[in-house]
Amino acid sequence: MIRTWLAVAATAAVALTVHGAGAQDKMKFGYINKMGDHPWFVREVKGAKDKAAELGVDLLVQDVQFDANLAVTTFDTYVGDGVKGIAVVVPDRSLGPVVADKAKAAKIGLIAVDDDIAFADGTPVAYVGMNALNIGKQVGGEIARIVKAEGWDKDLSKVRVGSIEDQKADTCMRRNKGAEEALVAAIPEIKSRIVSIPYDNTMVNSIDVVSTTLTANPDTEKWIFYSCNDDGVLGGVRATENAGMKPENVIGIGIDGSRSCEAFGSGKPRGFRGTMWLDSAKHGAAAIQALYDQATGKEMQKDYFQDATLISGENFAKFKDTLGCKS
């Protein structure tokens, strides 16, 4: 009887030891994003958390709200906490070499999400996101299709194209470059009608700078907009609405799909004609999967490109639930 009791106790002790070690050794990753209250990043972080739960790993998340110092501090904190890898959406691409070299020194995995970065020697960090140039070309191609379908190409004298640009973000400029290349390839004479409109990557600023541009071009009757994201384009469209322009005289195609609900939810015609939607939840999930794969012995790929889908007023109903639209 005593011998049986001792055997049971020993087995229980071993089980507790194994369980305790498993809990202690649970893999941990960090996720730093630059604007956590934006719909894009809300969904992206949810995708990351869901993937972490699926893989049985812990995930630390920090919204740095474009604060470069907080991003670096958080990175150092995560390293100190013993993470096996970090996914980062940098608030400023100049931080790339800083965090990349920190990750290398700490011998942990690193993957850039949405905005690509590099080590100090120029070697790219593994990247999850869009192929910036190619998605820009999709935007330009769709704009060209609408321009021709509505006959704007017959007389471009009263048409202008606003390239709404965050000139500090390389990935933004590549998206706009792609849009311009595809649009000009389809309608060569439109090149002289393009104006550069710098903005700070927020919708509020886009409204302001486009409003100024409209005032500076009083003879322009029709406007075309492309930008880094939905915020840039929807801001441009709202500026035209504030100026009293009719939606049929505006063509805007966004990128990312984060403003689809407010752009198409009312069912009313708008100059915001469509957006190249990328499911940011897939970006977050892909980043965690890549870090996990590397931590468990698999080689990390150079790029994890995500595909885009055109959402417009015509097909919006199919995406409402997925996008989490409230009405």
Q: Are residues 215 and 267 in the same domain?
A: yes
Is residue 209 over pLDDT 90?
A: yes
Residue type, 66: F
User: Is residue 49, in this structure, part of any structural domain at all?
Assistant: yes
pLDDT at 75 (0 to 100): 98
Burial class (CB in 10 A: 0-12, 13-18, 19+), 271: buried
User: Is residue 198, in this structure, part of any structural domain at all?
Assistant: yes
Closest CA to 169 of 204, 134, 200: 200
User: Is residue 194, in this structure, part of any structural domain at all?
Assistant: yes
- pTM of the predicted model, to two decimals? 0.75
Residue with tokens 């407010």: 262
pLDDT at 306 (0 to 100): 87
113: how many CB neighbours lie within 10 A of its CB?
Answer: 29
Q: Are residues 15 and 95 in the same domain?
A: yes
**What percent of the chain is modeled with pLDDT above 90?**
86
Q: Are residues 241 and 138 in the same domain?
A: yes
Q: What is the pLDDT of residues 244-299, one digit of tens each?
A: 999 999 999 999 999 999 999 999 999 999 999 999 999 999 999 999 999 999 99
Report which DSSP code applies to 135: H
Q: Are residues 100 and 148 in the same domain?
A: no
Q: Are residues 171 and 255 in the same domain?
A: yes
Residue 99: half-sphere exposure toward Cβ, Cα within 13 Å: 37
Q: What is the pLDDT of residues 150-191, one digit of tens each?
A: 999 999 999 999 999 999 888 899 999 999 999 999 999 999
Region 3-23 average pLDDT = 41
pLDDT at 78 (0 to 100): 98
Closest CA to 243 of 207, 275, 196: 207
User: Is residue 307, in this structure, part of any structural domain at all?
Assistant: no
Q: How far is CA 186 from the centre of its chain?
A: 27
Q: What is the pLDDT of residues 108-134, one digit of tens each?
A: 999 999 999 999 999 999 999 989 999
DSSP reduced 3-state for 293: helix
Confidence of residue 326 (pLDDT cuts 50, 70, 90): confident
Q: Which strands, in side-by-side order, build the sheet including 58-63?
A: 58-63, 28-33, 85-88, 109-113, 127-129, 303-305
H-type helices in the chain, by residue range? Answer: 2-24, 39-55, 68-80, 96-106, 132-149, 170-186, 203-216, 230-242, 260-264, 280-295, 320-323
User: Is residue 161, in this structure, part of any structural domain at all?
Assistant: yes
Q: Are residues 90 and 75 in the same domain?
A: yes
Is residue 307 over pLDDT 50?
A: yes
Q: Are residues 73 and 24 in the same domain?
A: yes
CA dist 113 and 290 (Å) reads 11
Confidence of residue 20 (pLDDT cuts 50, 70, 90): very low
pLDDT at 263 (0 to 100): 94
Q: What is the pLDDT of residues 26-62, one digit of tens each?
A: 899 999 999 999 989 999 999 999 999 999 999 999 9
User: Is residue 136, in this structure, part of any structural domain at all?
Assistant: yes
Domain of residue 143, residue span: 132-277+312-323
CA dist 253 and 228 (Å) reads 10
Rounded mean pLDDT of the chain? 92
pLDDT at 11 (0 to 100): 43
CA dist 325 and 261 (Å) reads 5
Token couple for 120: 């100090």
Is residue 16 over pLDDT 60?
A: no
How many structural domains comprise the chain?
2
User: Is residue 302, in this structure, part of any structural domain at all?
Assistant: no
Q: Are residues 318 and 171 in the same domain?
A: yes
Q: Are residues 54 and 145 in the same domain?
A: no
Q: Are residues 55 and 120 in the same domain?
A: yes
Residue 71 sits in a domain whose CATH number is 3.40.50.2300
Q: Are residues 201 and 216 in the same domain?
A: yes
Q: Are residues 205 and 225 in the same domain?
A: yes
pLDDT at 3 (0 to 100): 43
Q: For residues 302 and 69, is the Cβ–Cβ distance under 8 A?
A: no
